[in-house]
Structure 1
Amino acid sequence: MARTRFVGDSGLTARMTLVLFLLGALFVGLIAVLMAVFGRSGGPGVAVLIGIAGLGVAWYQWYSSDKVAMKAMRAREVTPEQAPELHGMIDRLCALADMPKPRVGIADTPLPNAFATGRSPERSVVVVTTGIMGRLTAEELEGVLAHELAHVAHRDVLVMTVASSAGIVAGMLTQGAQYGALFGGRSRDNNSGLPVWIVVLAVSLVTYAISFLLLKILSRYRELSADRAGAYLTMKPQALASALQKISSGMDSVPQKDLRASQAMNAFFIAPAVKGVSLSTLTSTHPSLEQRLEQLARIQTELGRTTP
């Protein structure tokens, strides 16, 4: 975690370290199995090439995460002259947190949301939508921005991107195995054995499933951690709680086509672009609204006891 005035979170650090270790081991195991499978069919180099390709895709996603995310949301970078109030809020929060100021962007969409991304605190961007700016009060928007800046300080975008490598390789293999099925790929050593593509498909699906669940569990915790850090920074957890409630209820008024167009960004948003769906599942990218509000209420009570 970066050294800022955001409250420390040893739980987040431990979880990010554990997930990286487990997914690293999973990635190595996947490549080892593929080398064994392709080795029997005379092509162990294929497994190595697939691994390198997967790492290359993950590296590109990390290196270009800010540009890719802004392009996906059709966001534009804005100057202090174009958005003085927004820049003023981020200036104050960055000074309070003692961290570099990120670039600032606005996405023209009715979707009430915000996100932060970038490969480092010095190369990050915080984006808000016109939908969220028109719905929240200044105090509520400040709470949202503090949450997003906490993600930048925690460097969890970097961890999530690197941790996705195993899933990326598994997804590539799944597609490749389905393609191979059309040509009936088989082990050369044992014509009566299982076709190579079935083995590859099974291994890649298991790898993808484990990677998917680990990343979702980490994603939910990082949202709670950012809520915590942002609330302690502003000392106004009730403002963030109010913002989350407005954002959640605001999803119901957003056209379904806008929700669908933005769902690929759900892992980055402060709240997922969904409506009428329970988030208390293993596959959700965010904790439930109830969990988040309960945590913020506890922080509010704690701050109330310590305030003279």
Structure 2
Amino acid sequence: MAGSKFIPDRGLTNRMVLTMGLLLLVYIIFIAALIVVGMPWWLVLVVVLGFAAFQYFGSDKIAMYSMGAREVTPEQAPELHAIIDRLCAMADMPKPKVAIAQTDVPNAFATGHNEKNAVVCATTGILRRLDNAELEAVLAHELSHVAHRDVMVMTIAGFLGIIAGFLTQMGLRFVAFGGGGRNNQNNPALIALAVVLVSAIVWALSFVLTRALSRYRELSADRAAAYLTGRPSALGSALTKITGDMARIPSNDLRKAEPFNAFFFTPATSKKGFSISTLFATHPPMEQRLAQLGDISRQLGQGGGPAGAVE
């Protein structure tokens, strides 16, 4: 986040480093375990490295295509570009690409593995519903993800979960077709069980780690946007308005958007209240986000801006 005027967040940085370190350790063990139970080392490495390269360099294109988003020029979306220009000047950061997704789901997201190819996208649904102050607050939230580099970390972490699921299927097929080697041919069921067990543990660990990081990074982005714009109430208003309108969106549209919840400003779901799924949610509860914004409003109202980094 060098050079950015978004409020620094050491807590987020520490969590990203810890999450990536733990995931790296988990996947080294995962690869070793798959080799031990019978998969050729070269095949495991080829799949892992191939998926990693594809996900890392193609994540922004995948997200844009899946959401039906397209990059827009200042001539095509002058008001949207004007807000992004103003925020980037305030934050002293490079301007990302700007895109619009043709969907009534009111949301926004940032994607890209570095600042040079970062994209900030707003849906037509959110552009219709928010006023300029609310939209500016939401876009500041998304720009903070780019400045904090947590988009890149979430992209990498997300691909590891995909790898676990893919290698599980691959391992089962490998065993089913007798590829476990002479020493393993007499125990294909045992090998298959080992592959499934190891993969399930890895997937579960990856899921929990990335979900915990995702919830914290949303709170961090809310803080950064509120302090940058100086209007936490606008962000709270946008959050309340979007969450309330989400229940009016057709379920089919929400289901299409749900795979990208981790990257959205707020989850594309109409579910309310507590359920077991909230324990593994990509975003913190709206009440927690609004409470944090309320605290920031009181600080700013008392003339007490951010003093140093967030712990």
Structure 1-normalised TM-score?
0.92
Describe the SS at the equivalent of 1:4: coil
Q: Deviations over 1:246-288 (max 9, x none)?
A: 1101111111111111111111110111002447723211111
Q: Give, in whole Å, the separation in 2 of the partners of 1:196 and 1:295.
A: 49
Describe the SS at the equivalent of 1:270: coil
Does the C-alpha gap of structure 1 residues 86 and 165 become closer, same or farther in structure 2, counting only changes over 3 Å?
A: closer
Contact 1:186/1:194 (CA < 8 Å) preserved in 2? no
Q: Give, in whole Å, the separation in 1 of the partners of 2:72 and 2:160.
A: 35
Does the C-alpha gap of structure 1 residues 283 and 187 become closer, same or farther in structure 2, counting only changes over 3 Å?
A: farther
**Which of the residues 261, 266, 277 maps onto 2:261?**
266
- Displacement of 1:195 in angstroms is 2.5
2:135 paired with 1:138: no
Q: Deviations over 1:176-231 (max 9, x none)?
A: 24435655776733636852111111101110110011011101111111111011
Q: Which residue of 1 aligns with 2:5?
A: 5
- Displacement of 1:298 in angstroms is 0.6
Q: Which stretches in structure 1 are left out of the alignment for 5+ residues?
A: none
**Which of the residues 154, 164, 173 maps onto 2:158?**
164
Contact 1:115/1:148 (CA < 8 Å) preserved in 2? yes
Contact 1:58/1:164 (CA < 8 Å) preserved in 2? no
Contact 2:55/2:159 (CA < 8 Å) preserved in 1? no
Contact 2:175/2:188 (CA < 8 Å) preserved in 1? no
- Displacement of 1:37 in angstroms is 1.9
2:59 paired with 1:65: yes
Q: Give, in whole Å, the separation in 2 of the partners of 1:238 and 1:261.
A: 30
**Which of the residues 202, 211, 221 maps onto 1:216?**
211
Structure 2-normalised TM-score?
0.91
Q: Which structure is richer in relative contact order (CA contacts within 8 A, separation 6 or more)?
A: 2
Describe the SS at the equivalent of 2:209: helix
Cα RMSD for the two superposed structures: 2.0
Q: Which residue of 2 aligns with 1:52?
A: 46
Contact 2:239/2:266 (CA < 8 Å) preserved in 1? yes
Contact 1:12/1:225 (CA < 8 Å) preserved in 2? yes
Contact 1:112/1:132 (CA < 8 Å) preserved in 2? yes
Q: Which residue of 2 aligns with 1:89?
A: 83
Q: Which stretches in structure 2 are left out of the alignment for 5+ residues?
A: 306-311
Contact 2:174/2:180 (CA < 8 Å) preserved in 1? no
- Displacement of 1:238 in angstroms is 0.4
Alignment of 1:216-255 (within 5 A): 216-255=211-250
- Displacement of 1:153 in angstroms is 0.4
2:18 paired with 1:18: yes
